[in-house]
Amino acid sequence: MHGLVLTPDPQRPTSACSALGDRLFETRKRSIELADPLSAEDMVVQAMEDASPTKWHLAHTTWFFETFVLAPYLPGYRLFDEAFNYCFNSYYERQGPRQPRPKRGLLTRPSLDRILAYREHVDLALAKLLADQTNLPPGLAHRLDIGINHEQQHQELMLTDILSLFAANPLRPAYRPTRFRSIGGAPLEPACWIDFPGGVYQIGYEGSGFAWDNEQPRHDALIHPFRLADRLVTNWEWLEFIADGGYETATLWLSDGWAAVNRENWHAPLYWETHDGEWLGMSLEGLQPLRLDAPVAHVSYYEADAFARWSGKRLPTEFEWEVAAITSPRRGNFLETAELRPMPAEAETNGSPRQMFGDVWEWTQSAYSPYPGYRAPQGALGEYNGKFMVGQHALRGGSCVTPLSHIRASYRNFFYPHQRWQFMGLRLAWEVD
């Protein structure tokens, strides 16, 4: 454990913005807490091009507040270090050139201590900004909300990127000690099917709280009657897919997926391996025996689609998923549960789908594309979602390392179909006979 020192609690604002300030500083504190079990060496390494070092995540989220909140809204704000705009900008073209993403692990300097000093500098300035406000100027509350949700996204990425790093380490280190759990077993019953009527449904965010621009505008979507599995696909079911030659049967796969299977030598989900005939999976608690009744995770869209074909079913569309999720309680296995791994579904169904939120992000068959009437916001923040609306698929529901307050039924995540280092899984769908 590195023993990171938290920024001293800044003087909290006593105005109407105090609740927003509480959320802000609690989020900032959690990032440090998530990094605390790591050594300084752990925080600088980048396991692959899709991942980023923990130190970079801590700095980038701080740069975000400095660039988009403090610089425009706090008179006389002093940049901590002008060079940090190059080091810790991610993909905002309007903010200028940046360190290439695949080479973030080369940023051995600035040091971790300097990054922590940067966070303290920005946190104190944020506290001053809020303490000086009795009424927030136009746009500031929304910018702070974006920053909070942005940092929550990076908290999830920190954990998935740490898992990627430790899985590549021959020592298979654990992010934290193993928790005692019952071993569990294969599900005793197959998934149940829940019917949903067809019709024209309102899709997209509706409410007065925060939502990303890609969840809007709310619009009508025609949905045909469909059936949705009441739980996620499990590790046991995935082992059946493997045993039946799922990774060796070309006819189950999309052409690009079959090319990926052969190019990358896929034969199981990411982080799975066998020892003396037993399947193990790398987790944030190190290399562990698979819990067979837990949801399968770390599979690509190609794998999810092939499994659905093998099952004689399909993946749901993101609109079908949202219709099913609207009436489901927003609870489940999230970051706050502290399991840090997918867990089995509850035993009781009560006629409603289980595991709609948490455990694993659920692949849908829907391309990540703009809703009718979508317009990207103006300015650099308009680059956040809109420019990625090509070549990717939508995922829904959140995962075991997603903060609970970050998710909702309309939330749209998106990844390329070959990616699988995130906690990605699936549930099946089918047409009503």
Report the pLDDT value the prediction gives residue 11, as an integer from 0 to 100: 54
DSSP single-letter state for residue 50: T
Which residue, 401, 360, 409, 349, is CA-closest to 229?
349
**Range 193-431 has CATH code 3.40.50.720:** no
Contacts of 9 by beta carbon, 8 Å cutoff, 6+ apart: 25
| Per-domain residue ranges of the chain | 18-168, 193-431
Strand partners, 424: 361
Amino acid making up residue 255: S
Report the pLDDT value the prediction gives residue 3, as an integer from 0 to 100: 59
DSSP single-letter state for residue 114: H
Whole-structure pTM value: 0.94
Contacts of 107 by beta carbon, 8 Å cutoff, 6+ apart: 44, 53, 55, 56, 87, 99
Report the pLDDT value the prediction gives residue 182, as an integer from 0 to 100: 64
Which residue, 395, 393, 411, 414, is CA-closest to 403?
411
State the Cα–Cα distance between residues 391 and 414, nearest whole angstrom. 10
SS3 at position 23: helix
Given this structure, which CATH class describes domain 18-168?
mainly alpha
Place of tokens 């009441």: 230
What is the CB-side half-sphere exposure of residue 230 using CA atoms within 13 A?
17
* Beta strands 278-283 and 286-289, pairing class: antiparallel
Contacts of 288 by beta carbon, 8 Å cutoff, 6+ apart: 178, 280, 281, 282
State the Cα–Cα distance between residues 71 and 20, nearest whole angstrom. 19
Report the pLDDT value the prediction gives residue 382, as an integer from 0 to 100: 85
Q: How many whole angstroms from its chain centre is CA 279? A: 26
What is the CB-side half-sphere exposure of residue 100 using CA atoms within 13 A?
5
State the Cα–Cα distance between residues 277 and 285, nearest whole angstrom. 21
Q: How many whole angstroms from its chain centre is CA 369? A: 18
- Please report, in tens digits, the pLDDT of each residue of the chain (433 residues total): 555 655 556 555 444 468 899 999 999 999 999 999 999 999 999 999 999 999 999 999 999 999 999 999 999 999 999 999 999 999 999 999 999 999 999 999 999 999 999 999 999 999 999 986 677 888 999 999 999 999 999 999 999 999 999 999 999 999 999 887 665 665 657 899 999 999 999 999 998 899 999 999 999 999 999 999 999 999 999 999 999 999 999 999 999 999 999 999 999 999 999 999 999 999 999 999 999 999 999 999 999 999 999 999 999 999 999 999 998 999 999 999 999 999 999 887 677 899 999 999 999 999 999 999 999 998 888 888 899 999 999 999 999 999 999 999 999 999 999 999 999 999 999 999 8
State the Cα–Cα distance between residues 65 and 58, nearest whole angstrom. 12
